[in-house]
A and B are shown apart, each in its own frame.
Chain A
């Protein structure tokens, strides 16, 4: 099962390698990883997407929590949450496919952010599955290059309060 885990940690030197070292050392899998500072520059939030059965995910969250620099670990599966990732795609700009590329981009509310004579670059943002779907539709039309972020996730705000 795929799990998105959000980790709040003290922004100390080497903290990222403590986390990645934990995953590699214990044979846990990392599908994607995203990290940046929060509003408080001393605290970062790291979002990890991992795979494993319930026991593995339980170990992952406990082991993360055991790291001295880790403040809070949340397995997003426990709450409703929103998640996004972003991909930049460089497409071949060919006469016969240009219109189709733009049409697909439009369906996915993607943006064209850079254009040259032979290429254009598209930014797609969304859940992992939406990004994947968009890539699959664009693939036959000539993708030259892909750069993709990991997932970031946030619990949904409580509705009635």
Chain B
């Protein structure tokens, strides 16, 4: 058999794993790998910053459900990728990050561009490896992909010393993977399923509280089946948006700090909380001792550490969300003596209560006659003019919350946002990854004027690869979310948050060869969006919005979720 180099083996393995696109940035330690990639039929997207490359791989993974791959050089290349890795880690996104490393003989010598990236990323990867012998290369990469995509997904980093990349060896045949120390539990325990189902039957006021785990498990159809079967209202976390159709009457929208009035009230008043693929984050629960105090709690999650971490759980089900929901549906389908019609009817008064809450305080915003652009209006127009059929990525801050509140996500994997880490600068590179995966789809980054500057250089990447992403900057000339806190809790002391110098975003777009559009009046919003959507190029829209508009409802940090500040 002909010997292969480490680089050739890596490429062969990437193809075996179904990889078609690699997001990366070159450098000394991985030049051999890029040299081999020049002749490989893999698509290479070269970003303008390694953070951008990792976010793009992450965005690609979020919209496709496949493992995203990023390739970075040693030292500064690897450290630049860390924020991207941590972002993927906090949202359980499957990516494999390959980093170059100095040759093995130099490791530990403070060699040029050497960092202990395995040490640095240990707490923000699901697992990581330094490949220390050529025999380990292929099995390690196989394990890396397996770990990234199975169980609770997450980023895996593989550090590749330069001399491993250049070594010659026999490519090992595929072997069954034996990992006795890694056996995620994906099948629900039938007894727990039965307990859960019986609790559901008993409940008069149940609520489904759904998180990103449902999307990661591709369980949206099973979730819809369950809600239809039993008429159970659904609320979603930021990461869960799209897991259930946002326009469905049973959808209460998002819960938590900036969630809807009805969702937070329903969770406070429900007698059964069915958490699926969600982790009771502090942004969701508010003051823990006041959270869902009347409810029995069912918690379905693939990660046992999520269960009973923050909130006491009555019926835990450790399993893949899809398998668990299927098992629950199956139970209701096959159990004799259950009249689904009656079950649904029994939840009707509860549903009516929820509708009353919605009418009392709908998710809304105040328009006025001034003609000043309200950010919520921009988001609603984006929703309307795309027919809701777009992949929306976001930056972080008010822009992210307005996107979450006013865009109606009807499908999973259409909302791409950094939830757990809240990484400003995520949206633009993530949009690049999403557009790579779906060249025909409309991909829009809903951005803030602060965040967009954190990875603005990726405009060049989007241009280079003809990725016609659209960026809608909700430009309030502030680090708006922090300013909102200053307004509400720091006596309006606006320090550090005014963006005293901003680039002219229209000119900036032009400088990159993209299209820049601006709207300063409400009346211009629609035409700007229409023009952007019909332009086959990267478009940056600068919406000059009401500067001190706030995100409402808002639960102040540490307060009970029923103590909402409303519009």
Is A140 part of the binding interface, using a Cβ–Cβ cutoff of 8 Å?
no
Known contacts A21-B123, A25-B123: A10-B181 contact under CB 8 Å: yes
Mask for B403-444, Cβ within 8 A of A = 1, else 0?
000000000000000000000000000000000000000000
Alpha-carbon separation in the docked complex, A21 to B349 (Å): 50
A70 touches B181 (CB 8 A): yes
Is B303 part of the binding interface, using a Cβ–Cβ cutoff of 8 Å?
yes
B305 touches A59 (CB 8 A): yes
A68 touches B181 (CB 8 A): yes
Count A interface residues, CB 8 Å.
19
A98 CB to nearest B CB, Å? 48
Known contacts A13-B130, A13-B132: A63-B305 contact under CB 8 Å: yes
Q: Scan residues 50-75 of chain A and give those whose CB is less than 8 A from a CB of chain B.
A: 55, 58-59, 62-63, 65-66, 68-71
9 A-B pairs with least C-beta separation:
A68-B127, A71-B181, A62-B305, A62-B304, A68-B182, A25-B123, A63-B305, A66-B305, A21-B122
Q: Scan residues 268-323 of chain B and give those whose CB is less than 8 A from a CB of chain A.
A: 303-305, 308-309
Is B11 part of the binding interface, using a Cβ–Cβ cutoff of 8 Å?
no
Alpha-carbon separation in the docked complex, A71 to B182 (Å): 7
Is A139 part of the binding interface, using a Cβ–Cβ cutoff of 8 Å?
no
A–B pairs, 8, beta carbons within 8 Å: A14-B130, A59-B305, A65-B304, A66-B303, A66-B304, A68-B179, A68-B181, A71-B180
- Considering the complex, give the chain A residue whose CB is closest to the CB of B126: A68
Partner of A58, one of B123, B130, B147, B308: B308
A65 CB to nearest B CB, Å? 7
The A interface, classified by DSSP as helix, strand, loop or mixed, is: helix
Is B119 part of the binding interface, using a Cβ–Cβ cutoff of 8 Å?
yes
B252 CB to nearest A CB, Å? 30
Alpha-carbon separation in the docked complex, A62 to B305 (Å): 5
Chain A residues in 8 Å Cβ range of B127: 68
Q: Scan residues 538-559 of chain B and give those whose CB is less than 8 A from a CB of chain A.
A: none
Is B118 part of the binding interface, using a Cβ–Cβ cutoff of 8 Å?
yes
Alpha-carbon separation in the docked complex, A5 to B181 (Å): 17
- Considering the complex, give the chain A residue whose CB is closest to the CB of B124: A25
Q: Known pairs A25-B123, A63-B305, A66-B303. 10 more at Cβ < 8 A?
A: A10-B181, A14-B119, A21-B123, A55-B308, A58-B308, A66-B304, A66-B305, A68-B147, A68-B181, A69-B181
B415 CB to nearest A CB, Å? 27
Chain B residues in 8 Å Cβ range of A70: 181
Chain A residues in 8 Å Cβ range of B308: 55, 58
Chain A residues in 8 Å Cβ range of B123: 21, 25
Q: Scan residues 49-66 of chain B and give those whose CB is less than 8 A from a CB of chain A.
A: none
Chain A residues in 8 Å Cβ range of B179: 68
Chain B residues in 8 Å Cβ range of A65: 304
Is A9 part of the binding interface, using a Cβ–Cβ cutoff of 8 Å?
yes
Partner of A9, one of B126, B181, B303, B309: B181
Is A18 part of the binding interface, using a Cβ–Cβ cutoff of 8 Å?
yes
Alpha-carbon separation in the docked complex, A9 to B181 (Å): 8
Of the candidates B126, B132, B305, the one having the most CB atoms from chain A within 10 angstroms of its own CB is: B305
Mask for A14-31, Cβ within 8 A of B = 1, else 0?
100110010001000000
Chain A residues in 8 Å Cβ range of B182: 68
